[in-house]
Chains A and B, each alone.
Chain A
Amino acid sequence: MKKTIAHDNSGNSIEYYIVAAIVLTILIVGFMAVTNVAVQKDSLTLTTGFILLFAATASGVMNYFRSKKTALRMAANSLAVELHEKALLEHTIVNVTSSDGKILAVNEKFTETFGYTADEIVGKPSCLLYRHGCDTAQNEELMETVFSGQAWSGSQRLVSKSGQCVMVQASIFPKVNEFGEVTGFVSIRTDLSKAIAESVETGRNSVVDDLPDGVFIYDPESFEINYGNASFRQRVGWASDDHAAKSVTSLFSDDDLKLFRRYLVPLINGETRRAVFEFSHASGPVEVLTHFVEDVDGKRRLVSVVRDISARKQAEQLKLSSVSTVSHELRTPLTSIKGALRLLESGVMGDLTPDVSKLVGVAHRNSERLLAIVNDILTLEELHFGKMAIRAKDVDLRDILNEAAEAIAPFAAECEVKFVVETTSKPALVQADPDRLMQVMSNLMSNAAKFSPVGSGIILRLEDQDSAWRVCVEDKGPGIPEHARSTLFDSFIQVENTPGKAFPSTGLGLTICREIIQKHGGRIAFDTEVGRGTTFYFDLEKSAPLKQTGKLSAVA
């Protein structure tokens, strides 16, 4: 908003005219005296005439300068007043309110700050401006002060038409009539949002800039980066001053970006408070921990902390590769042990006494358990080192759920639980490796069966999540305690003291699930409540429905 300052200096004061008239009179008299003397040769009159002429000229000149000075002073005064007024209007937000809180008038700065036009806001309750409505302790105190006839001052958190937070310093003056009644208010406010944002940013940056972990702050919709600390800039190879207006999209490959966005969905929807995403950046393997923050200007932004996990990954791989070597070696003796026990158990070697049969059963079950661990380790190693190929094809998740429920039926019976399948009426197509998905389902379902109370039902549900299908395995087990949640998908982690049934597990099942789902470009997570149950779920991107290709040509 630009204002022009008009100041009129063409008008002269009355004083100026009076003085000018006197000077003119003296001038005429002086002139007459001189001309008269010139005729009469009277030296006294001539001298008087010259004196009068001189006086008139001097007076005229002096008056001219005096009048000029007055005009200048007046112009300066007028300018000062207008500048003052301009400053007041540009920096303060003014509105007049009736005693019942209706806005009666606003200045330009008001409309500019809050985004309402005068027509929109005049007549509306001033409560509209309050972020948390009028029923707050601060507002109560304000009302009490102004209705007692005193002015109220303090800082306020208001809200603009677009919902943006506006931090102001306010002074509210009551208008009191001759009977001492409050008839309305004049509110004068100064917008502090920008100043606060700047000071907070400066403070935050000086602390965050030196952290060893990379930190970047960005807009959740545009993905535009507002801030990146030194460690982050170094990692991504940006010069110190060019992080502004860069986008998060430049940090990831297309596939990783897709996956990262998927991991942010529950955070953006408010289903979770933080999102952890691991991926291999060009600079090495990193973990990205993302939170939402509400900035001082009221805008919601994402803050991601990038942690270098190369050391952890190396240790994990070393552990896994040494364990996997041992595992290979274990499979050979296990073949003999299991084979021998199986032959004994089958009765081809003759009948066993009940006790011997029982002992053979114990040995056989435990060899099975050992084999399960070995197999899990090997699967994980294959997934980690990229040896396992994902043979993706169009898969209807409804079939996977039904088949998985069928396959687990014997184990469910053993655990005394029941699986209930809830699918959709339309096909749930995804691009996936059905064998690997069955492996994931089997792990999630056997966990659910192990931890569910006897007689309870476990729901296998298919949900439409717009661009993805979600498969849920919902149990009514004991829930996962807080301390175990963040490491649940890590290798060899088992929740201690869980009142599950006495079924063994390897502590690798969920790690395998996560690896497989991530290899499919999906996301796996869980919701849990201690004492109520847990729902594990994974999202896989929908694939386009199969085209009707008619009759396939016969394969020779």
Chain B
Amino acid sequence: MPELKTILHVDDDEDILEIARMALQLVDSFDLHQFSSGPAALDSLDTVAPQLLLLDVMMPGMTGPELSCHIRSIDRHKDIPVIFMTAKAEDSMSKELLESGALGVITKPFDPMTLGSQIRSIWSKQKNLAIHQ
């Protein structure tokens, strides 16, 4: 499993996009591609070719889980792991998202200083899984 570098981030809140950008580019040094809606992200999916999708759950139009479903239906992108970000920090919701195949769930508010390491730690979980398989 290669090192995590390219992340595609989708959130409808411009401020959160900005905080996440600073956290993942300034504090960390990911190759970050951000979009404020599901359709815009879908359009650039081929160009970006992300290793990981970081998706907000509650978005107008297309929600995070809907976007994830959509991407999974495209054969060449179906294996891209997904981490959801949500302000709804309920146990039941996290469980549902994980059961639907998400790699991890990060609750908002997140700490920008540790967001990168949080994502890496979830990423490595997937790496371990891959080894076991």
Q: Does B61 contact A (CB under 8 A)?
A: no
Give the distance in Å from the alpha carbon of A382 to the alpha carbon of B94 in the complex.
Answer: 13
Q: Which residue of B lies closest to A327 (CB)?
A: B87
| Of A239-247, A297-305, A329-337, A501-509, the one touching chain B | A329-337
- Among A335, A371, A378, max chain B CB count under 10 A is at A335
Any B CB within 8 A of the CB of A102:
no
Bound complex: CA of A332 vs CA of B88, how far in Å?
9
**Contact status B108-A335, CB under 8 Å:** yes
Q: Mark out the residues of chain A between 366 and 391 whose CB falls within 8 Å of any chain B CB in the assembled complex.
A: 371, 375, 378, 382, 387-389
Whether A387 and B91, one on each chain, are in contact in the complex, defined by CB atoms closer than 8 angstroms, is yes
Question: How distant is the Cα of A336 from the Cα of B17 in the complex, in angstroms?
Answer: 9
B117 to chain A, nearest CB (A): 14
Q: A335 and B109: CB pair below 8 A? A: yes
The residue on B at minimum CB distance from A435 is B91
Q: Does B22 contact A (CB under 8 A)?
A: yes
Tell me which of B19, B22, B27, B92 contacts A335 (CB under 8 A).
B19
Contact B109 A346 (CB under 8 A): no
Q: Tell me which residues across on chain A come within 8 A of B27, comparing CB atoms.
A: 343, 346, 348
* B16: chain A residues within 8 A (beta carbon): 332, 335-336, 339
A310-335 near B? 1/0 per residue, CB < 8 Å = 00000000000000000010011111
Q: Nearest Cβ in chain B — how far from A188, in angstroms? A: 75
Return chain A residues, CB-CB under 8 Å to B15. Answer: 333, 336, 340
Chain A residues with CB under 8 Å of B13's CB are 332, 335-336
**Most chain B CB atoms below 10 A, which of A328, A338, A343:** A343
Query: How does the 8 Å CB contact mask read for B86-103 relative to A, with 1 for contact and 0 for none?
Result: 011111100000000000
Which residues from chain B contact A281 at a C-beta distance below 8 Å? none
Instruction: Provide the main secondary structure of the chain A interface.
Output: helix
Residue of A348, A375, A388 near B26 (CB, 8 A) is: A348
Does A131 sit at the interface, judged by CB under 8 A?
A: no
Give the Cβ gap from B29 to chain A, nearest Cβ, in Å.
12
Number of A positions contacting B (CB below 8 A): 22
Q: A328-B87, A339-B16, A343-B23 are in contact. Are A389 and B108 (CB under 8 A)?
A: no
Asked whether any CB of chain A lies closer than 8 Å to the CB of B111, the reply is yes
Given A332-B13, A332-B16; A338-B109 close (CB under 8 Å): yes
A348–B89 alpha-carbon span in the complex (Å): 28
Which positions 57-111 of chain B face chain A at CB distance < 8 Å? Answer: 87-92, 108-111
Contact A339 B110 (CB under 8 A): yes
B contact residues around A332 at 8 Å (CB): 13, 16, 87, 108
A380 to chain B, nearest CB (A): 12
Provide the bound-state CA to CA distance between A10 and B91, in Å. 98
Interface centre among A333, A339, A343, A346 (most CB of B within 10 A): A339
Q: Which residue of A lies closest to B114 (CB)?
A: A342
Q: Does B113 contact A (CB under 8 A)?
A: yes
Most chain A beta-carbon neighbours within 10 Å: one of B13, B87, B92 = B87
B22, A343: Cβ atoms under 8 Å? yes
Q: Tell whether, in the assembled complex, residue B22 and residue A348 are in contact, meaning their CB atoms are under 8 Å apart.
A: yes
Question: Contact residues of B with A, CB < 8 Å?
Answer: 13, 15-16, 18-20, 22-23, 26-27, 87-92, 108-113
25 A-B residue pairs with Cβ-Cβ distance under 8 Å, sorted by A, are A331-B108, A331-B109, A332-B87, A333-B15, A335-B13, A335-B16, A336-B13, A336-B16, A336-B19, A338-B111, A339-B16, A339-B19, A339-B109, A340-B19, A342-B113, A343-B19, A343-B27, A343-B112, A346-B112, A346-B113, A348-B22, A348-B27, A371-B109, A387-B90, A387-B91
